[in-house]
Structure 1
Amino acid sequence: MVQQLSAESGTDSEMTAVRSEAATLVIEAASGDQDSWSRLVDHYARLVWAVTRSFRLSDSDAADVSQMVWLRLLEHIHRVDPERVGAWLVVTTRRECLRVLAFRKRVLLTYESTAFEEQPGDQPELDADMIALERAADVREALETLPDRWQEMLGMLMADPPAPYAEISAKIGIPIGSIGPIRGRCLDKLRLLLAS
C-alpha cells in the first residue's frame, strides 16, 4: 500500500506525510481518542481486508480475522511503533489468517450423518468429569459420617485387591460372619445419605 501511495503521490515528502498522519493517529488512539481510532481503522481497513483475501478465506473467516486483528492492535497499541503500524497490521493479519487455516485443517468434513458418532473425542466430556468429582466428594462426606470401624472395613473391602475377610476380621475385631451383614448396613446407610 505504501508503494501504491508513493506511485500516486509521486514524491517521498508526500509519502512521509501520509506515514506521519498514520503515526499521529496511532499515538492519539493510544491515548484514548475514539475519533482517532475510527480514522485509523478507516485508514487501514482495506489493507487488512486485502491481506485476508489473499489467503482466500471465506467472507465470514475474513471478517473474523479482521476483527481479531483490530482487537490485537487495541491490546498492543502502546507497544506498536506508530511509524510502522501498517507493517504490524500486515504481519498480524497474516498470522491470524494462518491460525484460521490451521484450525480449518483440524475440522472433519463429511456428508455422512453417522460419521461423528464414530469419531473418538480427544478428551472425556467436561461435564461428566465435573459430575464424577462432585459425586466422589459427596461419597467421601457420607463415608465420614459412618462409625470409624465401618469406614475402615469399607476401605479394606474397596481396596484393590480387596482384603480377605479373615484379615478384616483380625484387624477390626469382628467375626467373619458379621462382615457381610455389616457391609450391607453400611451401604444402605450410604445410599440414604447420598439420596438426601
Structure 2
Amino acid sequence: MDDTAALVRAAADGDAGAWKELYHRYSGLVWAVARAYLPTPADAQDVAQTTWFRFAEHLTRIRDPDKTGAWLASTARNEALRVIRTSGRVIPVSDVGLMGFDVDERSPERLLLDAEEADAEAERAREVWAAFEEMSERCRRLLRVLIASPRPTYQEVATGLGIAVGSVGPMRGRCLKRLGVLVARRGVTGTSRDFE
C-alpha cells in the first residue's frame, strides 16, 4: 500500500501490517523532531513513544490522513515543547558518541592502521559536530530533522519545526553553507559537497 490515507484507514481497522508500514515511514521523522528539541535521547524517546500513543488514540479521528507525517511532526514538536516547559531544566547536549572497539583477530599491524584511521575519522567527526554546535539553534534543529530516515517532506519538516514550507529550502541552503564555512575554519578536510 502506497497511499497514506489508505494505510491510516487500514490501521484504524486493526491491520497490523498497515500500522507497521506507518511506523516504518514516519518513525525517523518523529525521532528527528523530538531530538531536535530535546537534549537527551531518553527524553526524545519518551516524546516519540508519546507521539505514537497519541497517534493511536486519534487514528480514527485524523481529519486529513494524507498529511499523517505533518500530524506526527506537529505532535512530536508539541510533546517536546511540553517536556521542556514541565521539566524546568536545561541539559547540555553533545552528539559525539563514545567509540568502542570490538575484540577481533586482525593482525597487530592491521589493528594499528585501523585504529589510526578510526582516530582520524573520529577527530573529523568531533570537529564537524563542534562546528555544528556553533550554529544557531534554528539551523541545528532544521538539519537534525532533515537527516531523518526516511527523508521527511518539506511539509513535514515545516510542520515539525513551526516554520513556513517555503522557507525550508532556502534555510537549508543557508545552514549548510554556514556549516561548510565553520567546518573549513576548523581545517577539516573533505569536499565542500559534503555540506550541499
TM over 0.5: no
Superposition TM-score, scaled by structure 2 size: 0.43
Superposition TM-score, scaled by structure 1 size: 0.43
Higher relative contact order (Cα pairs below 8 Å, separated by 6+ residues): 2
Q: Which protein has the larger Cα radius of gyration, Structure 1 or Structure 2?
A: 1
Is the helix fraction higher in 1 or 2?
1
